[in-house]
Chains A and B, each alone.
Chain A
Amino acid sequence: MRNQQVKILLVVAALAALAIIVPNTNSFLILLATRVLAFAILVMSVDLLLGYTGLPSLGQAAYLAVGAYLTAILATKYQFGLGYDFWLVVVGGILLGAALAAVFGLLAIRATGVYFLMITLALGQCVWGLAYRWNSLTNGDNGINLRQRPQFGIDLANEVTFFYLVLGFFVVSLLLLYTLVRSPFGLSLAGIRERELRMRILGYNTWLHKYIAFIIAGAFGGLSGVLWAHTAGIVSPVNVELAFSVDALLMAVLGGSGTLVGGVIGAFIVFGLREYLSTLVPWWQYVLGGVYVLTILYLPTGLMGIPERIRQRRARTGNREEEKEIAPVTP
């Protein structure tokens, strides 16, 4: 357990450092960190499915999109959610994400492996199709611009204030998900990931477990969408595209699936490369693609898996040296 405590301390220290350092940098970095944290909530929801339940979702952007479109449509058409009612929109986004997942889950949960990838892809494309074509509601390809951020006592147009709000939501999400995956429910999810048949034989209703996990992931996706809408200031079909879902999945894998915080690291690296490197060199996307390909070829456990791999290697070489010492004795 001591090992676990060290890890928790490290995460707390990293978050505290983030809270102190980021506001003192320039506005470019503050916005970047805000984006990363808002998106990281979606990545953690992917990780709940992928890393803890063993369900690789290729359509997670759909949940972010419904949350984001809800926020944008309410704000621009009804001037709703720009004061204290922002909190109602947050609740609405979470509920809408969960409701969409409850519908989609009915179709998707039965499938596993490759078929789960495909069906979540198809469901994500349904939402994309609506966002892209339903002009009267979503303004089609142009998307919806949010002109202002909410004001309630505090002014979220101030980027530092907004950063702290998103950081707060992120920390709460992390805590909730961390509690969830360590609860008996979370452990039975891991059991399903390892061997679903055995869990079923032990008497668990594995379908229901997966379904609930899917809905919870959808709820966090909706939350991240509400935050994303106000972070980016524009909601468009780009946020529902396949590439957007793939991004979330890749970040989870890059950081290390089954770790929750790994996704944040993945998000930092990908957004950092995309937004910072792109200002420096024209060939930044090769770096990004290269990072993906290399991670999958050589680091299947992601960045968070590196310490474990080093430890294993050390243990292995250690053993070999012991064997050498013993070897000459044998005739």
Chain B
Amino acid sequence: MNTQFWLIQAFNGISYGALLFLVGSGLSLIFGVMRIVNLSHGSYFLLGGYVALSVIWTTGSWALALPVAALSIAAVGLLMERIFLRPLGFDPLRQVLLTVGFAFLFQQAALDIWTGNNFDINPPDVLTKSVVVGGLYLPLYRVFMIATALAIGVVLWVAMEKTRMGAAVRATVDDAQMARGVGIDTSRVSMLIFSLGAFLAALGGVIGGAFLGIYPGLDFEMLPLAFAVVIIGGMGSLGGAAIGALLVGLADNFGKALFPEISYFTLYAPMALILAVKPTGLFGRE
């Protein structure tokens, strides 16, 4: 175990964290704004990957697959929020069960449309090369993942901090009732954030599909990881989601490399501890 091992593992952890940020940030915002534990978030990830596959098969364009998949899943999220979640009111248990019912429906739909086979999403050749940095061979695709997550993180941060809509979102996270009181349309904020979350998760599915693959069951594999990000980072906080994603990505990678037999335990046990001590997450606001 020399320096090279640590550097490579750290790089892999960070790039995996970048992917987790895409899935987790949306989930975190949804929880912050609507107090909904969205168990169909993993399905958005998986469906995003599948839609991208279809686009690639018909047009051959990976670059086109990214926006098409993300936007179409955002539309799915929008419909789900408007038609089913909104009329349900604020009962956490019923919301959770409804989203899980949808997760099962999506699972079956994916199985019917795209069969049960394993697929890979092949990125364009430009991104499959490696770059050499300080004697380390870094796959360009992972660099691309980090860059994408950084770009999206910055855009989200600017949107949240500098725009009127972002201020409305932050106000809703802090106190939805008060926000309604001062004239913020929280229903519109919820709709926007829910479809944004679906958009980001689907984008993650397309990007992650290149090295995770796309297969049935991936939805419920990603979901607990996304929750780990949200819980460690703090619910409803964008910066928290970034730090949470980084920590989970690194913990996952080093855990698997150093002590494989208990690697998932080392991931979820801290998550449970954090929840027990500080239910709003490390960086969440009370």
Chain A contacts with B in 78-107, Cβ cutoff 8 A: 104, 106-107
| Bound complex: CA A226 to CA B35 (Å) | 37
A241 → B minimal CB distance (Å): 7
Contact with B along A307-330 (1 / 0, CB 8 A): 000000000000000000000000
Q: How many interface residues does chain A have, given as a range?
A: 35 or more
| Bound complex: CA A130 to CA B262 (Å) | 6
Report B-chain residues with C-beta under 8 Å of the C-beta of A118.
37, 227, 231, 275
Nearest-neighbor residue (CB-CB) of B106 within chain A: A289
- Does A285 sit within 8 A of B, measured CB to CB? yes
29 pairs of residues in contact across A and B, judged by CB atoms under 8 Å: A56-B92, A56-B93, A58-B96, A106-B276, A107-B276, A110-B279, A117-B92, A118-B37, A118-B275, A119-B276, A122-B268, A122-B272, A123-B272, A126-B272, A129-B262, A129-B263, A130-B262, A130-B265, A133-B261, A135-B261, A243-B220, A246-B39, A249-B97, A250-B97, A285-B107, A289-B102, A289-B108, A296-B94, A296-B101
Report B-chain residues with C-beta under 8 Å of the C-beta of A300.
91, 94
Contact assessment for B97 and A292 in the assembled complex, using a CB-CB cutoff below 8 Å: yes
B91 → A minimal CB distance (Å): 8
Which interface residue of B39, B93, B102 has the most chain A CB atoms within 10 A?
Answer: B93
Nearest-neighbor residue (CB-CB) of B219 within chain A: A243
Chain A interface mostly = helix
Contact with A along B79-93 (1 / 0, CB 8 A): 000001000100111
Nearest-neighbor residue (CB-CB) of A112 within chain B: B279
Q: How many interface residues does chain B have, given as a range?
A: 35 or more
> Chain A: residues with CB nearer than 8 A to chain B?
50, 56, 58, 104, 106-108, 110-111, 113-115, 117-119, 121-123, 125-126, 128-130, 132-136, 241-243, 246, 249-250, 253, 282-283, 285-286, 288-290, 292-293, 296-297, 300
- Does B125 sit within 8 A of A, measured CB to CB? no
Report A-chain residues with C-beta under 8 Å of the C-beta of B98.
292-293, 296-297
| Bound complex: CA A283 to CA B223 (Å) | 24
- Does B104 sit within 8 A of A, measured CB to CB? yes
Contact assessment for A246 and B264 in the assembled complex, using a CB-CB cutoff below 8 Å: no
Contact assessment for A250 and B100 in the assembled complex, using a CB-CB cutoff below 8 Å: yes
Chain B interface mostly = helix
| Bound complex: CA A307 to CA B251 (Å) | 52
Report B-chain residues with C-beta under 8 Å of the C-beta of A130.
262, 264-265
Report A-chain residues with C-beta under 8 Å of the C-beta of B102.
289, 293
B242 → A minimal CB distance (Å): 20
Contact with A along B111-140 (1 / 0, CB 8 A): 110000000000000000000000000000
Report B-chain residues with C-beta under 8 Å of the C-beta of A126.
264-265, 268-269, 272
Find A253's partner among B39, B97, B112 (CB 8 Å cutoff): B97
Contact with A along B166-201 (1 / 0, CB 8 A): 000000000000000000000000000000000000
Contact assessment for A288 and B104 in the assembled complex, using a CB-CB cutoff below 8 Å: yes
- Does B60 sit within 8 A of A, measured CB to CB? no
Contact assessment for B227 and A122 in the assembled complex, using a CB-CB cutoff below 8 Å: yes
B53 → A minimal CB distance (Å): 21
A106 → B minimal CB distance (Å): 8
- Given A107-B276, A128-B264, decide whether A122 and B220 contact each other with a Cβ distance below 8 A: no
Contact with A along B255-286 (1 / 0, CB 8 A): 00000111111011101110110010000000
